[in-house]
Amino acid sequence: MKKTSTRLADGRELIYYDLRDDAVRDAVDRRPLDPIATNSETRTDRLLGDFVAIASHRQGRTYHPPADECPLCPTRGEALSEIPDSSYDVAVFENRFPSLAGDSGRCEVVCFTPDHDASFASLTEAQAGLVLDAWTDRTAELSHLDSVAQVFCFENRGAEIGVTLGHPHGQIYGYPEVTPRTALMLRSLAAHRERTGGNLFDEVLADEQRDGSRVVLEGEHWVAFVPYAAHYPYEVHLHPTRRVPDLLALDAAARTEFPQMYLELLRRFDRIFGEGRPPTPYISAWHQAPFRGLGDFGVQRDEFALHLELFTIRRTSGKLKFLAGSESGMNVFINDVPPETAAERLREVASK
Closest-CA residue to 304 (of 140, 190, 209, 219)? 190
Phi, psi values for residue 314, rounded to 5°:
-85, 125
- SS3 of the chain: helix, strand, coil, percent, to 5: 30, 25, 45
Q: Which of 144, 169, 192, 287 is catalytic?
A: 169
Distance CA 225, CA 201 (A): 13
Residues 6+ apart with CB under 8 A from 13: 5, 6, 7, 93, 94
Active site residue 307: no
Residue 73, marked binder: yes
DSSP summary character for residue 270 = T
Rounded CA-CA distance 196/202 in Å is 13
107 is in an annotated binding site: no
Q: How many CB atoms lie within 10 A of CB 273?
A: 20
Q: How far apart are CA 70 and CA 81, in angstroms?
A: 7
Task: Report phi then psi at 3, rounded to 5.
Answer: -115, 130
Handedness of CA 76, 77, 79, 85 (dihedral sign): positive
The answer to whether 116 is a known ligand-binding residue is: yes
**Which helix H or strand E contains 96, and what residues bound it?**
none
Q: Are 37 and 57 in contact (CB under 8 A)?
A: yes
Continuous segment of H or E residues that includes residue 64: none
Would you give the DSSP letter of residue 277? S
Annotated binding site: 70, 73, 116, 167
Annotated binding site for Zn(2+): 70, 73, 116, 167
Question: Annotated active-site positions, please?
Answer: 169
